[in-house]
Structure 1
Amino acid sequence: MIQTALAIRTASIDTDSDIRLEERIEAACARVAPLWPLKHFVAVNPFLGFTGQSFAATAATFERVVRTRILMPRAFYRKALDQGRIDDAALAQALQLHSEAGLDLDGLKRALGSDAPPGAPPAVVATVAEVLDRLATGDRYVSLVSFMIDEISAFCASYFDEGQANWQNPARRLKPYTAWRTLAIYDRNPEVMGIAGFRKTVAALPRNPVQAIAVIVERLGIPARAVEDYLVRALFDLNWSAYARYVGWSAQLEGRRDDTLVELLAIRLAWGFALFEARTDAAFRAAWAEAMDEAAKLPVDHRLDERPELAVDVILQEAYEIVFRRNLVGQLAANASAQRAARPAVRPAVQAAFCIDVRSEIFRRALETACPEAETIGFAGFFGFPIEYVPIGHFRGGAQCPVLLKPAFIICETVKDADAVEEAEVLGLRLLRRRVAKAFKSFKVSAVSSFSYVETAGLGFAAKIATDSAGVTRPVPSPVIDGLDPDIAARVSPRIAPGQLEGRPTGFAGTQAVDMAEAVLKAMSLTGPFARLVLLAGHGSSTTNNPHASGLDCGACGGHTGEANARVAAAILNDAGVREGLRKRGIDIPADCWFVGALHDTTTDDVKLFDEQDVPAGLAADLARLKTALAQAAHLARLERRALLGIKDAVSVDDAIKARSRDWSQVRPEWGLAGNAAFIAAPRSVTRGLDLSGRAFLHSYMHEQDRDCRVLELIMTAPMVVASWINLQYYGSTVNNSAFGSGNKVLHNIVGQLGVLEGNAGDLRVGLPWQSVHDGKRFIHEPVRLNVFIAAPEAAMDDVLRRHPGVCDLVVNGWVMLHSLGDSQETIRRCVEPGVWTEVQGVLPPLGRPLLGDPNP
């Protein structure tokens, strides 16, 4: 029953209480990691809001607050012990790291022999929904919790929709809480499902979301010390919180404040409050009172001795990673003789720069095998150009840069050597194609024409379905060129000269191009000698029927393919005026050196070269040799990837892998960044000749050229952080896919063009599909935190850590393991905290055992 007489007393909430509550709301919202929409889906650290505390403390926080695990099942560690991937020495070292747990080696092994209790323990701070779950003995449908999540999710899908729905939410112009409240006071569904007085409860709540949260917290009787945890739990009950966090993140990059996440929190709490008000029975009220009594006695997260079962699993995870790290350190140390070799002063035959993406490690090794005289380089795939790239026929483009950055330049496509009439024709063709496609889609899905369309045109698609299924045709258009005439398509290129687009400046003006070119070349440690041909290869992926396709593209390019950045970088570095400016700054690019933009397709391993017609005639033979080497390298890379893709030896590996990119039923067109485990910033000589099995991010870095350590600072604050995001997204999607992943991709349905549901209802799913980390029989991704190795003085890295608290938190709290590579690379030390480094003894695995290879031999 609704008791309106005691309902809303906003005037009784004093100002100090309001301030404290707002601080707790802000802190709770900061715990949520953002979720980027499907059109530019990028990897995100699901523990982003917890990096200020240790990995072990976070495991405890998730267990007691969110009721979920961030560790593997104990059977995983038991199997690892049997396989030798955990040993007594590693267990003993892990026990020393967590001496507060009060365990010894024998006790740890006894615990390892038995499984931890099934299921997550009850949360210390329970929500109304959880208490109802307990009373319903876990039947979410009886407790109406599933119904609540479905209803909130349906509202969010319609409110945040980006063009999928034919009928828009009539209240979407209002702020989220106001829009939901406007609709909810007329919605009879909750009352039909048994939530008595739902509309009256909602109508009685304040119109301001923060005031509504304050009233709900007070009425529920949440103990003051538990308020923040209660808010965190409510936010983590709903994955749409992650998308709301993205909305706020994007606004912050533009210098705006956005309270979408706070508004969504108010909606979630209002639903819980309605459930609370509808249950006046003694059993529920007694259970709720007991839950609030428990909430007043919050434990301390870092006290693992209070959670012996959790302590066992944290220590086992540490031991598992210690053995992995020992093997990797041994591998690097064994390659020390190659590291001592100075960078050759002779001019390389060709230089090829690839993204630091782990998939590039395989291709770089393959290219160095096919062309031993080639020098390969690793650098973030946006090549240092944070641009918004606007294709012909568009007036807005995508952000071709890491999501931590805001585009600094707008670059438009143009048709080279075209007059105004020809360019207008191309523009008109693109606009016409889009309008026709939009009109045809509207016709197909409209209520009047949908049935008649299917009945009359359905049979006409039979041949297309057959050829698509046989892999003869693609179910979707080719991602290369948007239907342009081949002659025109070959002349489409980025325009780097200054211009205007709807009042916005485009291109590079003044010394901007020279400034950017100088910064990029120094960051790549590419200041000479220069080869006659320098390849700048961005990367992308070819897949069909894959909602998360952009997640296989370049994260450094904001979840887009990287050819735009590669072509812009090449155009600028080939510009005569830019080269003259660089020469005055001490970087002399020879006249016979030419930069070529390219795109590495990580699904097929094909490399497409752009603007070949612009390569000087004198370099024709060099270009032919490069294309031959790239073709050979592609074949070698496919041979290496064949085993993990399950392609049999008798099958043509080239044809089989290319067929996967066209197969609409293929759930694993490629393995993406599965297996990533290391980030190495050093000269290529440190890793050249090592088989890192596509598990290492490789960033070229020569400290002797970085006298002011600005490049080192850039590496540690950008690529290293992004690599940790990728690593921890794969970690989370592996250890607990139901909480941090997106489940079975076979069941995915796109919602609002921004995310997926698993099935036809339920909550928004986050993270990676199960098929991205598991092949149906075993894990392909190995859950280890990122191991970072940088060839730079420890004092210089200490200085960066002290000036960047967020990066320091990642290192000190164990989210990444930062190591220094000494002058000879035979001595490798790990950073415990700024100024404190400890030597790591590397041990090579027994002969025949993989080093960074298959995690499940």
Structure 2
Amino acid sequence: MNLTALSNLALTPVEAMTMTEEIEVTDASHAIAPSWLDTQITAACDRIAPVWPLDRFVAVNPFHGLRQAPFQEAAAIMRRAAGARLYMPRAYYREQIEAGRITPDDLRQAAALCGSQLEPDDIARATASEAHPAGGVPLLTAVLDEMDADRWSSFVVDRISHHCAAYFDMGQATWKQPWQGMSLYASWRRFAALDFSTTMMGQGGMRARVKALPENPRDCIRSALTRLGIPNAAVLDYLHAALMDVGGWAAWTRLLRWQAELVGESDATIEELLAIRLAWDLLVYEHKARPELTRRWRAVCAGLAQAPVVPEPAGQADAGPSTDQGIDHLLLTAQELAYQRRLIGQLTAARGDDQESPVRPVMQAAFCIDVRSEVMRRSLETACPQAQTLGFAGFFGAPIEVVPLGAAQAKPHAPVLLSPGYRVCSEIQGADGARSDRALNTQRRRMGISKSWKAFKMGASSCFSFVEAAGIWLYAPKLIGDSLGWSRPVPAPNDLRLDAEAASRVAPSLDVPAHDHCCAAPETTLGIPEEDRLSLAEGILRGMSLTEGFARLVLLVGHGSTSVNNPYAAGLDCGACGGQTGEASARVVAALLNEPRVREGLAERGIAIPADTWFLPGLHDTTTDDVRLFDTAILPSDYAEELAEIRSWLKEAGALTRMQRATFLRLDGLSGRGLETRIRRRSRDWSQIRPEWGLAGNAAFIAAPRARTQGIDLGGRSFLHDYDWQTDADFKTLELIMTAPLVVATWINLQYYGSMVDNRRFGSGNKVLHNVVGGAIGVLEGNAGDLRVGLPLQSLHDGQRWMHEPLRLSAFLQAPEAAIEDIIARHELIRQLLDNGWLHLFRLGESGAEIERRLPGQGWISVLPEGL
């Protein structure tokens, strides 16, 4: 809602007569029932999407909390409550129309889908003017900002962020906050009562008033709403706006609730954060109370009491903000139709024969469904036409968490939608207990020395002398090397400085470790028990649609990324592995499928793996496009010649992939060795703010036999999951695909979408200005402000043009209609995403010309090759 419009509302004579300077007048304006308010608090907190820490940063749908609302209605909610955008500026769509990427036919079909009577020319003319600027529910501090020179909104956010950074610190701070054992709200009351920063704002008396705030967070929320006079009709939006004002920390505390809910528990930290934000509004109001502020605030509350505007269908109104959103939604739909038209043209032109070749492939390689793997798969099939590639989620179906050798903490290697069921620990394969103990002790000593050295560097009494006396001499060579790109690749976490032979044998083990450094959490099992291995292996192979026709060597290729000085490095690793690389998952599953007992059991269940088939793990570096193979030392010697051939094919595929990415990286003039050298140097360049554009451009998800997409240049924009419904008797694999990989792909897609359409609220701004907070919690843009979420602008823009196209994901499934609809009916999350327009769904028939689109409420509509 527009603040200026609210503040200009005329007061009635009765309001003017009853208004006084006393806060108590507002106090008695209305009563809020506790049970009703509890519902509103829960609803406001549920609107917030979680954000994961930097060391396991994963793509998150920033609109996850609004998935139960239609896309257009969610856009209205975000616009009304937080002034946020869910659509690109009109100028962007005008450029697409003028460039011919959106055609008049696309506009005409978009109008038909959106129920609009507008003609293409009318829609195109609408792009000449921008939509009315978004307003947002004005918080008390925002109203005061318009009246005073002091920036209270920024001050409040800074103070909350300062406290949260100290409270949630994950190891960065040398001096710990003294109230760690308390709840967030209780610790803030202690902190704020001693904080003299309000004195510098001319309000020294606030510190004493903090002590009088209710001890219970919900009581504080109720007191603030009552004393501020927020009308009941606006309570939910006001609470939502308050959380969005500290949206980064709200997302962090929402993660704590998310993680608790995964194990059947609850967490109220986000409610405590909400109480803190509202307490600040109340404190500021009471200490800045004067007639003009009271009058202005009453006018705002009168405007908030009006019923929220419900968005109208596109093109059916003549004026007003709902028409703005209708036009914007129509333009978004037209751009999506333009992409879908091109992709459908490729799919219908491709051969639809999905029958397996009777000839045994010379090799098989299962890659992650990641869009970057699509390019590598195509390159490998070019380098070796007799090879078969497959697409499967990068955790390869193993819900594990991994404790690296020498570490104390486990990290999940599974989609964040799942709770890991097994904890596996890394060990030196074949090493005796004494050698392993020496490695562990070495690591612990190194960690202790590192901790002491950090304390010395960061200590209040030693940091300045360290910089002046030793800093330049110790760090000058590294700074020069980093600046010139001479640095070596970043060592892996928990690197034990082992010799090369021993380091090559460090791998996660299926068995329970012999060392006490690796303990299972209550909700996980240590190691993978033998009684679980057969069923787990069967599920993995059926999920990959790989139950026959095995090659002698089957590669399981996870993926990761190489970059330095990059807080968002984990965001370029595998989203299916919880923001980790896919190395551990690939090695665990390969070991599982190579076990003789597991194979015997699989044969009894109808999956006969030839005795000469060997599963080999690998890792695709999506920055350099190298593929590294692991555990080759235990490969039988008679595979040596084939292994050498495979290495040469992978090397050739990497070169082809780098050539395809050269244009994207603006390295068009380079090729061969020069291109490879330049890309490797970029991956080690500490000043490189765009090490790779990762998943920029992602737009489609395809689950079908590889034959359906083989030979098509999908431009690195499609998540590719191999799936053959004819081998999926009970459609359990289809159900798994739709409820896990498809949802993860949707989250990735919407994170890129949100970060682009409104980077201020759903992105993280300028990467150059980022400072890491709390060790790995997240980043600030600069040295103050809210915790940032989403992607930096450099992940979306190359300085001259957008590298991403903000489209909702288009999913294509080759499966029977009845099976798809049955799964949708049984899974609320999938139903919400589809019926509310967060995701487009198409069904591929058995022949190339059969493609249908699912329209909510209308069923499946045939899509012709020449248009939609």
Deviation at 1:13, TM superposition (A): 6.4
Could you say what secondary structure the match of 1:35 adopts? coil
The match for 2:584 among 564, 569, 577 is 564
Whole-Å Cα distance in 2 between the matches of residues 633 and 106 of structure 1? 46
Worse-matched range after superposition: 453-462 or 637-646: 453-462
Deviation at 1:105, TM superposition (A): 4.2
The match for 2:822 among 799, 819, 836 is 799
1:632 aligns with 2:645: no
Checking the alignment, whether the CA contact within 8 Å between 1:74 and 1:313 is kept in structure 2 is yes
The correspondence of residues 701-780 of structure 1 with structure 2, limited to 5 A, is: 701-753=723-775, 754-780=777-803
Deviation at 1:126, TM superposition (A): 2.8
Checking the alignment, whether the CA contact within 8 Å between 2:97 and 2:124 is kept in structure 1 is no
String of CA shifts for 1:208-260, please: whole Å, max 9, x gaps: 00111111111111111211111111111112101111111112223321101
The correspondence of residues 98-109 of structure 1 with structure 2, limited to 5 A, is: 98-99=114-115, 103-109=118-124
Structure 1 counterpart of 2:143: 131
Checking the alignment, whether the CA contact within 8 Å between 1:536 and 1:570 is kept in structure 2 is yes
Deviation at 1:388, TM superposition (A): 1.3
Checking the alignment, whether the CA contact within 8 Å between 1:350 and 1:375 is kept in structure 2 is yes
Structure 2 counterpart of 1:512: 532
Deviation at 1:476, TM superposition (A): 4.4
CA 1:712–1:286 in 2, change beyond 3 Å: closer, same or farther? Answer: same
Whole-Å Cα distance in 2 between the matches of residues 561 and 800 of structure 1? 30
Structure 2 counterpart of 1:116: 131
User: What TM-score comes out, normalization by structure 1 length?
Assistant: 0.94
Amino acid at match of 2:810: N
The match for 1:36 among 48, 52, 71 is 52
Worse-matched range after superposition: 272-281 or 543-552: 272-281
Checking the alignment, whether the CA contact within 8 Å between 1:393 and 1:431 is kept in structure 2 is yes
Whole-Å Cα distance in 2 between the matches of residues 481 and 654 of structure 1? 27
Worse-matched range after superposition: 589-598 or 469-478: 469-478
1:313 aligns with 2:328: yes
Whole-Å Cα distance in 1 between the matches of residues 359 and 22 of structure 2? 85
The correspondence of residues 211-610 of structure 1 with structure 2, limited to 5 A, is: 211-238=219-246, 239-303=248-312, 305=317, 306-307=320-321, 308-335=323-350, 338-457=351-470, 458-474=472-488, 476-477=490-491, 481-499=495-513, 501=516, 504=520, 505-610=525-630
Whole-Å Cα distance in 1 between the matches of residues 34 and 244 of structure 2? 23
Whole-Å Cα distance in 2 between the matches of residues 7 and 321 of structure 1? 49
1:208 aligns with 2:216: yes
Deviation at 1:392, TM superposition (A): 1.7
Whole-Å Cα distance in 2 between the matches of residues 729 and 317 of structure 1? 16
Unpaired stretches in structure 2, ≥5 consecutive residues: 1-19
Deviation at 1:182, TM superposition (A): 1.6
Amino acid at match of 2:139: T
Deviation at 1:283, TM superposition (A): 2.1
Deviation at 1:438, TM superposition (A): 1.6
Worse-matched range after superposition: 125-134 or 823-832: 125-134
Whole-Å Cα distance in 2 between the matches of residues 800 and 448 of structure 1? 63
Structure 1 counterpart of 2:98: 82
Structure 2 counterpart of 1:852: none
Checking the alignment, whether the CA contact within 8 Å between 2:552 and 2:614 is kept in structure 1 is yes
Deviation at 1:200, TM superposition (A): 4.1
Checking the alignment, whether the CA contact within 8 Å between 1:801 and 1:834 is kept in structure 2 is no
Checking the alignment, whether the CA contact within 8 Å between 2:142 and 2:152 is kept in structure 1 is no
Worse-matched range after superposition: 717-726 or 641-650: 641-650
CA 1:285–1:102 in 2, change beyond 3 Å: closer, same or farther? Answer: farther
The match for 1:826 among 849, 854, 857 is 849
**Paired-residue identity, %:** 48
Aligned length: 832
Could you say what secondary structure the match of 1:340 adopts? coil
Name the Cα RMSD after superposition.
2.2
Deviation at 1:203, TM superposition (A): 2.4
Worse-matched range after superposition: 320-329 or 295-304: 295-304
Deviation at 1:814, TM superposition (A): 1.0
Structure 1 counterpart of 2:7: none
Could you say what secondary structure the match of 1:333 adopts? helix
Amino acid at match of 1:772: S
Worse-matched range after superposition: 736-745 or 645-654: 645-654
Checking the alignment, whether the CA contact within 8 Å between 1:802 and 1:834 is kept in structure 2 is no
Structure 2 counterpart of 1:171: 179
String of CA shifts for 1:630-670, please: whole Å, max 9, x gaps: 00000000111111112142461111111111110111111
Checking the alignment, whether the CA contact within 8 Å between 1:2 and 1:200 is kept in structure 2 is no
Whole-Å Cα distance in 2 between the matches of residues 328 and 341 of structure 1? 19
Whole-Å Cα distance in 1 between the matches of residues 496 and 512 of structure 2? 25
Worse-matched range after superposition: 398-407 or 299-308: 299-308
Checking the alignment, whether the CA contact within 8 Å between 1:2 and 1:197 is kept in structure 2 is no
Worse-matched range after superposition: 537-546 or 422-431: 422-431
Could you say what secondary structure the match of 2:44 adopts? helix
Deviation at 1:199, TM superposition (A): 2.6
Structure 2 counterpart of 1:854: none
1:142 aligns with 2:162: no
Whole-Å Cα distance in 2 between the matches of residues 692 and 481 of structure 1? 38
Structure 1 counterpart of 2:170: 162
Could you say what secondary structure the match of 2:790 adopts? coil
Checking the alignment, whether the CA contact within 8 Å between 1:677 and 1:786 is kept in structure 2 is yes
CA 1:720–1:671 in 2, change beyond 3 Å: closer, same or farther? Answer: same
Unpaired stretches in structure 1, ≥5 consecutive residues: 846-857
Deviation at 1:81, TM superposition (A): 0.7
Checking the alignment, whether the CA contact within 8 Å between 1:8 and 1:204 is kept in structure 2 is no
CA 1:341–1:407 in 2, change beyond 3 Å: closer, same or farther? Answer: closer
Whole-Å Cα distance in 1 between the matches of residues 415 and 697 of structure 2? 21
Could you say what secondary structure the match of 2:170 adopts? coil
Could you say what secondary structure the match of 2:641 adopts? helix
String of CA shifts for 1:392-415, please: whole Å, max 9, x gaps: 222331111111111111111121
Amino acid at match of 1:68: A
Could you say what secondary structure the match of 1:712 adopts? helix
Deviation at 1:57, TM superposition (A): 1.2
Amino acid at match of 2:294: R
Amino acid at match of 1:781: H
Could you say what secondary structure the match of 2:425 adopts? strand
The correspondence of residues 664-679 of structure 1 with structure 2, limited to 5 A, is: 664-679=686-701
User: What TM-score comes out, normalization by structure 2 length?
Assistant: 0.93
CA 1:618–1:809 in 2, change beyond 3 Å: closer, same or farther? Answer: same
Checking the alignment, whether the CA contact within 8 Å between 2:21 and 2:291 is kept in structure 1 is no
Checking the alignment, whether the CA contact within 8 Å between 1:8 and 1:205 is kept in structure 2 is no
Deviation at 1:843, TM superposition (A): 3.8
String of CA shifts for 1:95-144, please: whole Å, max 9, x gaps: 23333x67454433332223334x42x33x432123223435xxxx6241
Structure 2 counterpart of 1:839: 862
Deviation at 1:421, TM superposition (A): 1.1
Deviation at 1:478, TM superposition (A): 5.2
Whole-Å Cα distance in 1 between the matches of residues 117 and 64 of structure 2? 29
Checking the alignment, whether the CA contact within 8 Å between 1:795 and 1:835 is kept in structure 2 is no
CA 1:207–1:476 in 2, change beyond 3 Å: closer, same or farther? Answer: same
The match for 2:38 among 18, 22, 37 is 22
Checking the alignment, whether the CA contact within 8 Å between 1:326 and 1:840 is kept in structure 2 is no
Deviation at 1:834, TM superposition (A): 7.2
Worse-matched range after superposition: 36-45 or 466-475: 466-475
CA 1:326–1:259 in 2, change beyond 3 Å: closer, same or farther? Answer: same
CA 1:834–1:74 in 2, change beyond 3 Å: closer, same or farther? Answer: closer
